Amino acid sequence: MLYLLANPTCKCFKSIIENIHYILIKHEIPVIIMQSYNYNDDCTEDIWIVIWNSLEKLPKKCIIYNLDPLIPKIKDMLNKLIAKSPDSTILQFIDYCYGSNYKAISSLCIPYVIIPYGYSSYYEHLKNKYISKTSIPTKEIDVLFYGNVTGRRSDLLKEIVKFCKENSFKIMICNNNLYDDGKKLLMITKSRIVISLASSDAKNIGTNDLARLSLVLSIGEFVITEYIGDHIVEDTMSKYVPHCKTKEEILERIKHFLLHEDDRHNMINIANKKFRKDFNFEKDFISNLSIEQFSCYSRNRSVLVLSNETCENLIDDVLDPICCLIRGLKDNKVKIYSNINSSSFDNLEGKHNYILDINRKNIVAYLDFSDDNMTRVINSEYKTHCKCYFKRECTNELKNKGCITFP
């Protein structure tokens, strides 16, 4: 089974993890997103996609997705993690940027590939979810920066804030506090210009702020950034994203594109046409994976949902935002049964590969009858093979009702 670990140490990685999860599900690659990892409970047949800096030990078989600039201090952390994981097999190390990270990886002798962060339909999905098409937010903010205001960013932003005040431009700085997807997208769509500034560590390895650039461009908004030294990306992206070499050029570009709205919209139109072709993270990430390796179950499986909710509420409130596992299968491939009682539970066994039992909008159980009627256990807090797997807090109650049995 393929697992995705969603416990990164940095909050800004949250949407990136969710993006990868969305992409895998959209392309019908079965994946379970997990909040924690326990090496002792790991099965050798399982494959984990991990952001490595959240781990004390690597899974037995893993794909590392790297989002860190591998400056010496961070490289040493990675080396120590690999040294503590002698029984782990790293199937691939996927890097988010070009830059000079490859120099830090070359000595480790592990499979290495660069997939620059870029366009994903996940961000369009978020925009459709949070931004009303009938009531598009007005552009109330001239200049927006969101992110961690430290190091070189702090000095640059002081100059930008001063410049905006002198020119009566409204600027908004969200210092390391804009992590909610809905609030973030609303803030971006209310802004005429988003400023993307590389962190000190990113500049040291010669790469730009690709995660921020990708989000803004994927939802059709305007961003100004810097020339950092990643020519493979910058020479192409600079055709529709203003790249600046100096602080003075950043200020000049801000003023120009605020006073010349048509020029700003022309750049947005070019980006809408070219960005997803030039930097299609979704396509490249899927192409890099061996689909056959991860598609261990039939793609045409049906899904059964047990719930005390009405079917209408289930579709709107539960399946879409919570049950990402079956996103994209909500139409003819999903069978929904409401108010299933315990006496009829056993009769359902084996008729459907996957059963999700949802109670009051919380996923209570995940059942898989496709493997010799034995459930693949998916939660490290309750690791044991059983006929049916339930969350710890629900187990005793459901067992007493006769809904589950243990071998």
* Per-residue confidence (pLDDT) for residue 230, from 0 to 100: 85
Q: Position 364: which residue type?
A: V
What whole-number distance in Å separates Cα of residue 265 and Cα of residue 211?
22
* Per-residue confidence (pLDDT) for residue 320, from 0 to 100: 35
* Per-residue confidence (pLDDT) for residue 285, from 0 to 100: 92
* C-alpha distances in Å from residue 200, one per residue of 53, 71, 74, 197, 328: 19, 10, 13, 9, 40
* Per-residue confidence (pLDDT) for residue 307, from 0 to 100: 43
What whole-number distance in Å separates Cα of residue 228 and Cα of residue 182?
30
What whole-number distance in Å separates Cα of residue 69 and Cα of residue 351?
48
Q: How many domains does the chain have?
A: 3
Residue 125 and residue 258 in one domain:
yes
Lowest-confidence region among 64-78, 107-121, 174-188, 335-349: 335-349
Lowest-confidence region among 9-13, 56-60, 322-326, 386-390: 386-390
* Per-residue confidence (pLDDT) for residue 67, from 0 to 100: 85
Evaluate if residue 127 carries a pLDDT over 80. yes
In a domain, 405, yes or no: no
Higher pLDDT, 129 or 373: 129
Name the percent of the chain lying above pLDDT 90: 39
In a domain, 354, yes or no: yes
Evaluate if residue 293 carries a pLDDT over 90. no
Residue 217 and residue 267 in one domain:
yes
Query: Hey, what are 269's tokens?
Result: 């139109």
What mean pLDDT is predicted for residues 179-208? 91
Residue 88 and residue 203 in one domain:
no
Residue 195 and residue 137 in one domain:
yes
Evaluate if residue 7 carries a pLDDT over 50. yes
Residue 62's beta-bridge partner residues? Answer: 48, 90
* Per-residue confidence (pLDDT) for residue 290, from 0 to 100: 58
Query: Hey, what are 141's tokens?
Result: 């903010």
What mean pLDDT is predicted for residues 357-381? 35
What DSSP string runs through 133-168?
Answer: SSSPPP--EEEEEEE---HHHHHHHHHHHHHHHHTT
pLDDT tens profile 324-366: 333 333 333 334 444 444 444 444 444 443 444 443 333 333 3
Domain that holds residue 165: 121-279
* Per-residue confidence (pLDDT) for residue 276, from 0 to 100: 94
Evaluate if residue 14 carries a pLDDT over 90. no
Q: Which of 226, 252, 279 is the last residue of a domain?
A: 279
For the ranges 63-67, 78-82, 219-223, 298-302, the maximum mean pLDDT occurs at 219-223
In a domain, 307, yes or no: yes
* Per-residue confidence (pLDDT) for residue 353, from 0 to 100: 38
Residue 20 and residue 160 in one domain:
no
Evaluate if residue 167 carries a pLDDT over 60. yes
To the nearest 10 degrees (0 to 180), the angle between helices 281-288 and 14-26 is: 70
Q: Which of 226, 248, 279 is the last residue of a domain?
A: 279
What DSSP string runs through 335-348?
Answer: EEEES--GGGTGGG
Evaluate if residue 399 carries a pLDDT over 70. no
- What burial class does residue 18 get, using C-beta atoms within 10 Å of its C-beta: 0-12 exposed, 13-18 middle, 19+ buried? middle
Q: Which of 229, 249, 279 is the last residue of a domain?
A: 279
In a domain, 285, yes or no: no
* Per-residue confidence (pLDDT) for residue 282, from 0 to 100: 93
Are the C-beta atoms of residues 159 and 129 closer than 8 Å to each other?
no
Handedness of CA 98, 102, 105, 109 (dihedral sign): positive
Query: Hey, what are 223's tokens?
Result: 């961003």
Please compute, for residue 296, the number of CA atoms within 13 A of its CA located in the half-sphere on the CB side.
Answer: 15
Evaluate if residue 86 carries a pLDDT over 70. yes
Evaluate if residue 300 carries a pLDDT over 50. no
For all residues of the chain together, what is the average pLDDT?
Answer: 75
Residue 266 and residue 136 in one domain:
yes
Q: Position 155: which residue type?
A: D
* Per-residue confidence (pLDDT) for residue 8, from 0 to 100: 56
Are the C-beta atoms of residues 20 and 65 closer than 8 Å to each other?
yes
Evaluate if residue 268 carries a pLDDT over 70. yes
What whole-number distance in Å separates Cα of residue 4 and Cα of residue 232?
29
Residue 108 and residue 140 in one domain:
no
Higher pLDDT, 291 or 129: 129
E-state strands within 260-361: 303-307, 334-338, 354-359
Residue 275 and residue 302 in one domain:
no
Backbone φ and ψ of 257, nearest 5°: -80, -15
Backbone φ and ψ of 161, nearest 5°: -60, -45
* Per-residue confidence (pLDDT) for residue 25, from 0 to 100: 84
User: Helix or strand or coil: residue 227?
Assistant: coil
In a domain, 316, yes or no: yes
In a domain, 290, yes or no: no
In a domain, 284, yes or no: no
pTM: 0.71
Lowest-confidence region among 30-34, 122-126, 154-158, 361-365: 361-365
Residue 74 and residue 138 in one domain:
no
Residue 211 and residue 340 in one domain:
no
pLDDT tier for residue 321 given thresholds of 50, 70 and 90? very low
What mean pLDDT is predicted for residues 169-178? 92
In a domain, 291, yes or no: no
Residue 169 and residue 143 in one domain:
yes
Q: What is the CATH number of the domain that holds 197?
A: 3.40.50.2000
Evaluate if residue 267 carries a pLDDT over 90. yes
Residue 127 and residue 274 in one domain:
yes
